[in-house]
Structure 1
Amino acid sequence: MLQSALFWLCWLMSRPLMAWLRHRSTPDGLPGALKLSGEQPVCYVLPQRSWLDLFALQRICRAQGLPVPQRIGHSLPEPGRATFIYLPALLAPNRDVDSMERLFAEAEQRDNYDVQLVPVSLFWGRQPEKETSLFRILFADSFGAGRLHKLFIAIFNGRNLLAHFSEPVSLRGFMSGTTQPRRALRKLARVFNIHFLRVRTATLGPSLVRRPVLIDGLLRLPAVRHAIEEEIASSQKSAAKVRKRARRIAEEIAANYSTTTLSFLDRLLTPVFHRIFKGIEVQGLERVRQLAQTHEIVFTASHRSHLDYLLISYVLYHAGVAPPHIAAGVNLNFWPVGGLLRRGGAFYIRRSFKGDPLYTALFRAYVDMLIARGYSISFYPEGGRSRTGRLLQPKTGLMAMITESALRQRARKVAVIPIYLGYDRVPEANSYASELRGTAKQKESAQGLLKATKVLTKSFGKPYISFGEAVRLQEFADRKLEGWREGFGSAMQPRRPEGFNALVADLATEVMSRINSAVVAYPVALTAVALLAAPQKAAAENELSEQIELLIRLLRAQPYSADMNIPVSDAGEVLAWATPIARLSRIPHPWGDILLAEGKQATLLTYYRNNIEHLFALSSLIAAMFRSRVRIPEAQLLDATEGLYPFLRTEFFLRWPDAQGRQALADTLATMESLGLLQREGTDLLRPEVTSSASAILSMLSRITGETLERYCMTAVMLSAEAGEAPIARKQFEEDCRSLAERIAVLTGRMAPEFFDRTLFRGYVDTLIRLGLIARQVDDHILVGERIHPLARSALELLSPDIQQTILQLVARRGHDAISATSGQSV
């Protein structure tokens, strides 16, 4: 009786505190996300005994529309009468255990009786344990705090309460295999104890180490001490100078992760994001929550904007997942941003540290420490922001370090989670276009930051963040590198197993492919795809809407991947959203308004088209085969497109291996036929009647990857002209290809500097070498064989007659007339 009176007195006194409470709940979309059955009673399981936790849970449940837990004494929970249980009650023999035993006994006697057990973790503040922190001792949330201590915790952290609801589990499930309630209770206690520990680690991260302690620890590591001694011996500098330099490097690299700063950034960024964005679209968070409980996490994201750093951490923080340590370019380490980002988890990496073994040893040791302590890491495989909108070829240096550190440690498995980021408008888009034209990149500085504040006066639509399917690193290594566990050697004699570099290269390609598999076909990108495929970057509004509708139907009929998302599937809504954001011009006309992208806006639209161009790579390749032909035998069509598939796969990081390219093309062909874009007569495929809308849409599809196919053709034609026994200088050849593309861009009036991007031609040459069509020679030379001629002929077939003529004439004027005979030949 006294205990009950005290409970209700505390409940009454807590009312002001509960009214002051500000909470956040995960996962989003409660109660739908829990999928609770209204026909079974609910019992919430709390990890520790605390009336304040219970009162907070009651308030949160009311706000979320969930069943509210109540004290029900010795009664059993029934539908409409939710209750609760503290985990400690399951670990000690007391009357609560007796009540739970009766609950299990009731479940055993009544076949249709079951209880939904819902684990709930409450975090007052987001402060993980930190060594020698006085604030933590007084006010930070701690497991098992006394009543008075808990009151202080609630008072000082009540505005930052996170409640994590886990999926309900069946009480009857714990009864399986036993008829003894006490044994079932022990099983339940073990399962929930492990679960709560995992949720706590995933939400708060591991214990933090003060930065000075961490740096001192790095400098004492054997590998770092050896690098210091090596530099002393080789540089003839004094030991004091070398050690001082080593400390400066460590201080330059190391983050100063602070949850207080994260909370500050959350409050700072929330109004900023609300001002410049019309919401943030996120998908795939639940898989991150689940993996964070069982794996160490490495996030690998596409890099579109400086906002990427902030958005990923912001989204994870709001989702109740510990934000990662972020590998950031040292160019961002300027006042006042550098220190703020460092406290938000950024650790800094130089663009290149080849030839500096001391820096290499310290950075490698720091990565080892992050992995060993269980901190999540985020980095950008591309190395820098993409200026074109498509994924860049990955840089494998940091990926190799992280992979090696992850595979060396055996305590916990590591999962690499790819992240796709897209924007309706990228704040840096204008500078990207200038840089592609040759303008020098502006160095990041405080002055530039002040200029960047003008973004606060603009609207940028929405960012789209999609967490893709994880690569479980140990399982990936098992498939790709036999015996890797023994290949790393010992701690005293470390080494990399033979084949490790190939493993990292395969991992990089797989990660980039999975980033593109998590693609979001957002409205601005879909509109850009359709409008830029129009001959003059202009189209009647109703026709443009029809084309967007067809693109959406094509994606729905044959989804690129299970993770692909189309946030807006109505073509009218897509166009209505994209028109003002993309700044399309509208020309009124009695027969219907015309929308067009003029000048600079057309150039900017290519960036957003490139974000999702890979979705239509195969259908566009097939459509291009019908540019100048009406009928093609199916087998001949598949033969020709299969030969070009590896180039598309390399440029767009398509998800199908080369061996599966033909089947992917056949599936795409069947989809296009089912949508009426192609017709069949026996084994032949025909283009629809030229006056039909299907024919117009097929032409639109063929132009989506038109510039890509033109670049293929230029490379193949120039190589075909160079075929012979004499090797050619690779760098000069790639520069010649770039110059030819630049000239064609000028002659055809194109405003897309990416058309003559040198890195794309480098990728084509790499693919040709991989396919054995050209051979790599010493001194960075290549040797071109006769097998290149059929590829050049196939590539020419994909182009319109005027572009064919332009390419052949330009090559011939350089003295390359050997290919002239290829024009006019069939596939």
Structure 2
Amino acid sequence: MADSRWRPLRRLLHAWVRVRHREPAPEALGLDPELPTVYVLPRPALSDRLLLECLTERDGLPSAAVRRSKGDEAPPPLLALPDPRRRQRKPTLLRHLIERGEDVQLVPVSVFWGRAPGKRFGLWPLLAADDWRLTGRLRRLLAVLVNGRDLEVHLGAPLRLSELADGRDPALLERKAARLLRVHFRRVRERVLGPDLSHRRTLIAGVVASPEVQATIDKQAGGDEARRERLRRRAGRYGREIAASMSYPALRFLDGLLGRLWHRLYDGIDLRGIERVKALAGHHTLVYVPCHRSHIDYLLLSYVLYEQGLMPPHIAAGRNLDMPVIGPLLRRGGAFFLRRSFRGQPLYARVFDEYLHRLLSRGHSLEYFIEGGRSRSGRLLAPRPGMLAMTLGSFLRRPAAGRPLSFVPVYIGYERILEEASYRRELAGGAKRKESPLALLGVLGRLREPYGRVTVNVGEPLDLATFLDTHQPDWRAAIGEPRPTWRASAVSRLGETLARRINAAATLNPVNLVALGLLATPHRAIEAELLERQLALLAELKRPRPGDEGHPLPPGSPRDWIDHARALGLLDYRPHPLGDLVAADDHQAGRLAWYRNNVLHLYALAGLVAFAFRHQARHGRDALAALLAPGWPVLEHELSIEAPADFEAALDATLAQLAEAGLLIEEGQGWRRAEGLAEAEQLRMLGRLIRPTLERGYLLVAALLGEAPGHFDHDGLASHARQLAERLARLTGRDAPEFFDARLFDGLLESLEREGWLTVRDDRLHYEETLREAARRSRTLFDPALRHRLERIAARRIAARGASGEHAATPGD
């Protein structure tokens, strides 16, 4: 029978404690019912033992209750690892278990009192929460009493003794098993609590005293001892300006605070892919790289990770957020602050670089935004190299035996964001307003508005060593050299790969879908019935196929999605005797464009194919592939799309999907547009999704070909193409500011250079006849009115320079 000495305590514990987070689920543990189960605790603790007895009985797992009976030869159901610092005077339970020679499965169990997030927070819960300090009896009693309702339990994968034995001596086998279990417990503890948090002053002092920082000080001091001392003090100020001051009590406080905020702000948080992080946490250094759409991003991701039993990361935040009240709280929650530019500040740059290196080398997880700032247009911005370059440099400074470093791409999708008004104002040319506590109070006044749901999707992690093995096989020769010659190109490829993995993790929500459908109409108004059919088409094109992870679709019907967007104030629904109408005014359309741009890349190939049938009813299959293939890599780059392994195979699959939807009809060796009016309109709407991106590329190429090779430099062509796009936008009603976004034209030029369409000689852009020929073939895709406007503008430019005797070709040449 079970040990009756602790029965009253066990009953009290069973009535009092509540497990808020436990993993894995009992059915996922994979226990062999034919083998005896022995649970292993990292240290002897009566509270943990009694708790485990309660949990195993409740969940139908093999019992952890210690049973006492004469002649009982069964292995003990529970044991604790011996303290390796103490000399054992008698054989341990683990040694007895090994000497019995019976095969058993060892299940490691980690219990955290007060670490699991809960709704309550205050002085006593903060004091009693788990951390890296050893827990005495009095403090454990306090933890049970105060945090018994906020409990977290982690069960590890079973470890079979027979797989470890291999004819070993029992003493050696005991040491091996104990070592494996201690490694597991340490990794779980690091995953939940993070690496041990050093005192902030000690960390800053170590940064300032590092050889790298000292070398920079010596170089700037130039032998002047007084100046050297001033620079040393300045380095200390920089360290205090930068460094986080993360603490477990602050994390607990923020968890309670943010839990209340999300409950008021959102209808719910949908989380997908977190298992990918849990598989790496504890033995990989993790660098989270989410898309940056809102100030909410870093708070939301930290909250979600904490809720899932993972240590929140240290977060790189702009210095503009280090404001009174807010800055100190963010700093204690893990934020470290950086200036927007390091240019002309070599000592600051060195201090920041050394601080980042020390965080990574100690195994702390990081979070930063590779876009550099929030996306005002809603699309993923081109990655910036700064933080990625410093992370790569830190990785190369570590010895080859260092722990692996993995990037974790994260897509965050909103149905409404708090910054809608400010983004629209800034895209229209308004100045960015400075963050301040008063501005935060203004945001609090909008918390009662509806904001729908928010999605957090974890993409496919990227192991840095594996990435370098693929793209720079000789990288190990550069260990210890933070700035190898190939670093810039590797950072560029790394940023692009991460951006594509972020976008690959995107999923659709009702607002995205409604925006994709409604904004594909010429006047942002459509019959409700047609919009519902278009939303059903968009959903069907992204419905997961068998064996494909796909993109989960939002629940409900197209009509439900329209009603949801209407409830969020993003459109108007107008009943009409001849058929209800859905419309968006200028303000609503500007907001919807932001949400459309979040997921536009998901329909790039389908939109490209539909656009090809806009002015031509029929295309041969091979002719269509030849027409679309040259521009596809440029489209991939601008929209950060993961390239298909085989473009023609992906094209065939898309054509088949559109035929299945009734929009195209296969005809011999080609395809033709369906003749029905409704189907033709749906195909046109699908093609309009990608139209602005294609037209922007056509504008840039037309501007380039309108002059002789070598006429433009990079900045000159980007500026001219942007002015051309802005002019056409005003003349044709394309009032979306992102149509003439300067950064998009810079990205287009980079794509043309990478694909070999452009070469740079003496800072001038040169092109070959192949580009002119490709432009001539693709011009049939575009509206004749657009081509005519471009030719008229080019003709006026030629006439204005006629006296100089220069020759310029027209886009139609």
Asked if Structure 1 and Structure 2 have the same fold, meaning a TM-score greater than 0.5 normalized by the shorter chain, the answer is yes
Task: Tell whether 2:454 aligns with 1:463.
Answer: yes
- Give the number of equivalent residue pairs: 790
CA contact (8 A) 1:89 1:97 kept: no
Query: What is the aligned partner in structure 1 of residue 703 from structure 2?
Result: 718
Secondary structure at the counterpart of residue 110 of structure 2: strand
* Equivalences for residues 404-803 of structure 1 within 5 A: 404-410=393-399, 411-489=402-480, 494-556=481-543, 562=549, 564-568=551-555, 570-581=557-568, 583-656=570-643, 660-691=646-677, 693-722=678-707, 724-778=708-762, 780-803=763-786
Query: What is the aligned partner in structure 1 of residue 237 from structure 2?
Result: 248
How many angstroms apart in 1 are the aligned matches of 2:147 and 2:287? 29
Tell me whether 449-458 or 807-816 shows the greater mean CA deviation: 807-816
How many angstroms apart in 1 are the aligned matches of 2:223 and 2:789? 58
CA gap of 1:609–1:42, structure 2 versus 1, over 3 A, is farther
How many angstroms apart in 1 are the aligned matches of 2:786 and 2:681? 20
What's the CA shift for 1:558? 6.2
CA deviations over 1:193-213 (Å, ceiling 9, x no partner):
322221111111111111111
What's the CA shift for 1:274? 0.2
CA gap of 1:432–1:27, structure 2 versus 1, over 3 A, is farther
CA deviations over 1:625-679 (Å, ceiling 9, x no partner):
100111111111111111001111111111117x844443343333333443322
Query: What is the aligned partner in structure 1 of residue 361 from structure 2?
Result: 372
How many angstroms apart in 1 are the aligned matches of 2:169 and 2:226? 73
How many angstroms apart in 1 are the aligned matches of 2:659 and 2:36? 52
What's the CA shift for 1:369? 0.6
Query: What is the aligned partner in structure 2 of residue 161 from structure 1?
Result: 151
Task: Tell whether 2:49 aligns with 1:54.
Answer: yes
What's the CA shift for 1:6? 3.4
How many angstroms apart in 1 are the aligned matches of 2:73 and 2:669? 70
How many angstroms apart in 1 are the aligned matches of 2:73 and 2:792? 87
CA contact (8 A) 2:270 2:456 kept: yes
Matched AA of 2:384: K
CA contact (8 A) 2:26 2:61 kept: yes
Matched AA of 1:199: V
How many angstroms apart in 2 are the aligned matches of 1:396 and 1:559? 38
How many angstroms apart in 1 are the aligned matches of 2:132 and 2:228? 44
CA contact (8 A) 1:738 1:761 kept: yes
Matched AA of 1:735: S
Secondary structure at the counterpart of residue 666 of structure 2: strand
CA RMSD of aligned residues (A): 3.4
Secondary structure at the counterpart of residue 320 of structure 2: helix
Secondary structure at the counterpart of residue 542 of structure 2: helix
What's the CA shift for 1:144? 6.6
What's the CA shift for 1:170? 6.9
CA contact (8 A) 1:716 1:795 kept: no
Matched AA of 1:740: L
Secondary structure at the counterpart of residue 238 of structure 1: helix
Tell me whether 644-653 or 141-150 shows the greater mean CA deviation: 141-150
Which of 66, 70, 95 pairs up with 1:71?
66
TM-score, structure 1 normalization: 0.88
CA gap of 1:648–1:63, structure 2 versus 1, over 3 A, is farther
What's the CA shift for 1:125? 3.3
Query: What is the aligned partner in structure 1 of residue 266 from structure 2?
Result: 277
Task: Tell whether 2:308 aligns with 1:322.
Answer: no
What's the CA shift for 1:599? 1.1
CA contact (8 A) 1:643 1:791 kept: yes
Which of 199, 203, 209 pairs up with 1:214?
203
Tell me whether 201-210 or 787-796 shows the greater mean CA deviation: 787-796
What's the CA shift for 1:142? 5.8
Query: What is the aligned partner in structure 1 of residue 121 from structure 2?
Result: none
How many angstroms apart in 2 are the aligned matches of 1:40 and 1:77? 11
Tell me whether 695-704 or 117-126 shows the greater mean CA deviation: 117-126
Matched AA of 1:716: V
CA gap of 1:53–1:382, structure 2 versus 1, over 3 A, is same
How many angstroms apart in 2 are the aligned matches of 1:482 and 1:731? 34
CA contact (8 A) 2:621 2:671 kept: yes
How many angstroms apart in 2 are the aligned matches of 1:40 and 1:546? 57
CA gap of 1:600–1:471, structure 2 versus 1, over 3 A, is same
Secondary structure at the counterpart of residue 744 of structure 2: helix
Secondary structure at the counterpart of residue 395 of structure 2: helix
Matched AA of 2:687: S
What's the CA shift for 1:815? 3.6
Matched AA of 1:24: R
Secondary structure at the counterpart of residue 787 of structure 1: helix
CA contact (8 A) 1:656 1:664 kept: no
What's the CA shift for 1:697? 2.2
Matched AA of 1:389: G
Secondary structure at the counterpart of residue 751 of structure 1: coil
CA contact (8 A) 1:219 1:246 kept: yes
CA contact (8 A) 2:618 2:672 kept: yes
TM-score, structure 2 normalization: 0.89
CA deviations over 1:530-584 (Å, ceiling 9, x no partner):
1111232222223222222221211126699847433437434433433322521
Tell me whether 261-270 or 400-409 shows the greater mean CA deviation: 400-409
How many angstroms apart in 2 are the aligned matches of 1:136 and 1:277? 27
Matched AA of 2:743: T
Unaligned 5+ segments in structure 1 are 108-114, 128-134, 823-827
CA contact (8 A) 2:709 2:765 kept: no
Query: What is the aligned partner in structure 2 of residue 331 from structure 1?
Result: 320
Secondary structure at the counterpart of residue 539 of structure 1: strand
Query: What is the aligned partner in structure 1 of residue 10 from structure 2?
Result: 11
How many angstroms apart in 2 are the aligned matches of 1:562 and 1:56? 38
What's the CA shift for 1:153? 3.7
Matched AA of 1:679: I
CA deviations over 1:688-724 (Å, ceiling 9, x no partner):
1143x433322221111111111111112111211x2
CA contact (8 A) 1:517 1:655 kept: yes
How many angstroms apart in 2 are the aligned matches of 1:576 and 1:66? 46
What's the CA shift for 1:460? 1.1
CA contact (8 A) 1:174 1:184 kept: no
CA gap of 1:463–1:174, structure 2 versus 1, over 3 A, is same
CA contact (8 A) 1:677 1:695 kept: yes
Task: Tell whether 2:141 aligns with 1:151.
Answer: yes
Tell me whether 496-505 or 345-354 shows the greater mean CA deviation: 496-505
Secondary structure at the counterpart of residue 293 of structure 2: coil
CA contact (8 A) 2:396 2:482 kept: no
Matched AA of 1:777: R
CA contact (8 A) 1:26 1:319 kept: no
How many angstroms apart in 1 are the aligned matches of 2:550 and 2:187? 26
CA contact (8 A) 1:382 1:391 kept: yes
How many angstroms apart in 2 are the aligned matches of 1:465 and 1:666? 32
CA contact (8 A) 1:582 1:605 kept: no
What's the CA shift for 1:126? 3.9
What's the CA shift for 1:147? 4.0
CA gap of 1:695–1:291, structure 2 versus 1, over 3 A, is same
Secondary structure at the counterpart of residue 565 of structure 1: coil
Secondary structure at the counterpart of residue 240 of structure 1: helix
% identity of equivalent residues:
37
CA contact (8 A) 1:282 1:464 kept: yes
How many angstroms apart in 2 are the aligned matches of 1:389 and 1:193? 46
CA contact (8 A) 1:326 1:345 kept: yes
Query: What is the aligned partner in structure 1 of residue 378 from structure 2?
Result: 389
